[in-house]
Amino acid sequence: MLGEGHRGPRRPHRPARLTRAVLLLLPTVLFGLLVGTASPASAHAVLRASDPADGTVLRTAPRQVTLAFTESVGLLTDSFRIYDPGNHRVRTGDAGHAPGRSDTARVRLPAKLATGTYTVAWRVVSADSHPVSGALTFSVGKRTANAVAPPPERTENPATTALHTIARYLSYLSLALLLGTAAFVAYCRPPSTAHLRAPALAACAVLLTATAALYLLRAPYEEGASPATAFTLRSLGHTATTRPGLLLLARLALLLLAAVGAALLRTRRARLPRRATLAAAAVLALALSLTWSASDHASAGLQVPAAIVATTLHLLAMAAWLGGLAALLWTLRRTPEPAGLPASVPARFSRLAFASVTVLAVTGVYQSWRGLGSWQALTDTTYGRTLLAKLAAVTALLLAAACSRTFTARLARAGTPAPAPAPARVPEPATGPPLPPAPHPGDPTAPAAVPATTALYLLRRSVLVEATVAVLVLALTTLLTSTVPGRAATESAQPALPATAGIPTASVTTIPFDIGTPGGQGKVQITLDPGRVGTNSVQAVIYGPDGGLSTVPEIRVTLTLPAQRVGPLDTKVTDRGGYWAADAFTLPLPGTWTLKVTVRISDVDQTTVTAPVRVTR
């Protein structure tokens, strides 16, 4: 504390300059996060089965192509594109859903298909509003060795994807700032709110603009088209008929209604009772949050009503904490000196933040369980790893909040002096000027004012760190909404899915392998057709480390039924020029068989992998 009295008057200006610098850098950091994550968004409906199965060779041409997903999907005007062995598009019927199955899409094929390999390119919209696309192949009679893949016509448009991603991030950020500022003013009651009017209006304007952009980009985003198609009547009309489009229109209406109401009250200089104002603001905040939770992860999957409630509360708590934190930082920056900020304001925000963290913890645990499905998905899926990164960032945010809480308590103690006895009367000396009275702790000129200034300085720095980490938490939260949930990713990777209505009983099992040598990684795909008791055909395809087809000198495929002590039965697959197959293999009993595949890539390098396969009657 030595020398602090000399540097004290200048010290509060350092955090002010630092605050201004960080406030200028935050948009740049956010933009960097946006650009870094502006790759094509991972959709949330995952293909779990297909008829014909990917890579299979059929004796006769199928009459239709059927795709089953992990959740309900919406169809576009051109959801299926099928190319023949000569890379010409096949004329098909209109795509539709299987009877009573909103998660299953199908399209009819012509009566006669030529021999060779066909490519199916598809694109649908998942129930949580994200488009998903992919491709698969099947062969009629035999594989075409020189089949050429069709040109990528339905890939993501980089400009549309980037603009849509930026608009989504800005909408989350502006919502947090708008609702958090309102919560800060209503609960923390700062002595002056004039300095918060400009940030609140800016957040409202950004949210309005971002929502309008999301509506305009909705149709191009679904179809993978250029942003130039956003203003066509067809695109605008199509978006208005979809659930995401209707929710965006509802969000625009709520924002315009709130803006008109605020303008009328300000023009007429009318004031509503405080309870009525708070009730109206709470209803508006709840309605705005529902336009998010009803269109993202919560709108599909397990326990939809409970998930929507949890997501809404999670979003409101996040806005109250992170947006309120920004409002507190702005208030600390605008706090006049030397009067300082009443200690009751950060103390109230500390209680608000604690309540928000409690809600976030409860709803976050439920959302994590619902999205992950298993502990293994926490490390084996992109969703789980992103969730771990968010948890680490939230932990850092809680540590910074604990520091802020400590400095808030110090500021309260420094700003509330303890009562002191009256100063003793000092006798005047015989000669010389009279001595000044001894200072007491309640005197504003006493050294007690220095700790208050120091506490305010430390509180500013701590809140500044909180705000910086909060930007990262918000970015990771938004990124989670565009990542395949771990439960869906795990379900799509499960081998030997049981047969469902409208889906063939052909069993497709994909097993990864790693021999432990350079280039010795890949996966083997085994197809049992029809996957029932009796005679089946067996096909085995090897994919290399780059995902392309690979050839190996030997594959051996056996099946064992442990429950009945049957097997191992050798399928006796033979090399068919690029893949291995057996035309007739008999499965005598139903049950869960153990599929054992031995892959040899050289004279000395081989590995054996296993997976369960369900065989039905």
Concatenated DSSP letters of 342-390? -THHHHHHHHHHHHHHHHHHHHHHHHHHHHH-SSTHHHHSHHHHHHHHH
Calculate what percentage of the chain has a pLDDT beyond 70. Answer: 71
pLDDT reported for residue 181: 92
Q: Which residue has the tokens 């599929």?
A: 595
Fold agreement (47-155, 506-615):
yes
The model's confidence at residue 209, banded by pLDDT at 50, 70 and 90, is very high
Over residues 339-345, the mean pLDDT reads 73
Give the residue from 96, 479, 167, 59 showing the smallest Cα distance to 297: 479
Q: What is the mean pLDDT of residues 425-435?
A: 45
What's residue 501's pLDDT? 38
Answer yes or no: is pLDDT of 214 > 90. yes
State the pLDDT confidence band at 163, using cuts at 50, 70 and 90.
very high
Measured CA to CA, the distance from residue 115 to residue 81 in angstroms comes to 18
pTM above 0.95, yes or no: no
Looking at residue 313, its pLDDT comes to 92
Residue with tokens 């985003």: 221
Residues 546, 496 contacting (CB under 8 angstroms): no
Minimum mean pLDDT among 227-241, 287-301, 465-479: which range? 465-479
For 555, other C-beta atoms within 10 Å of its C-beta total 21
Does residue 423 surpass a pLDDT of 60? no
Task: Say which range, 262-266, 303-307, 435-439, has the weakest mean pLDDT.
Answer: 435-439
Q: What percent of the chain has pLDDT over 90?
A: 8
Mean pLDDT of 186-208: 89
Residue 206: pLDDT above 90? yes
Reported confidence tier of residue 272, pLDDT bands at 50, 70, 90: low
Rounded Cα gap, residues 62 and 382, in angstroms:
35
Quick check: 19 pLDDT over 50?
no
Question: How do the domains of the chain map onto residue ranges?
Answer: 4-40+159-418+446-490, 47-155, 506-615
Among 199-203, 499-503, 590-594, which stretch is predicted with the lowest mean pLDDT? 499-503
Residue type for position 45: A
Residue 180 banded pLDDT, cuts 50, 70, 90: very high
Does domain 47-155 fall under CATH 2.60.40.1220? My reply is yes
H-helix or E-strand spanning residue 121: strand 116-126
210 band by pLDDT with thresholds 50, 70 and 90? very high
Residue 11 binned pLDDT confidence (cut-offs 50, 70, 90): very low
**Tokens encoding 84:** 């023949």
Residue 3 scores a pLDDT above 90: no
**Least confident interval from 93-102, 206-215, 328-337, 569-578:** 328-337
Q: Which range is least confidently modeled, 300-304, 504-508, 546-550, 598-602?
A: 504-508
Q: What is the pLDDT of residue 41?
A: 38
Output the CA–CA distances (angstroms, integers) from residue 289 to 43, 171, 199, 282, in the order listed.
21, 11, 20, 11
The pair of structure tokens assigned to 470 is 């909060």
Query: Could you give the CA distance from residue 416 to residue 411 in angstroms, rounded to a whole number?
Result: 9
CATH number for region 506-615: 2.60.40.10
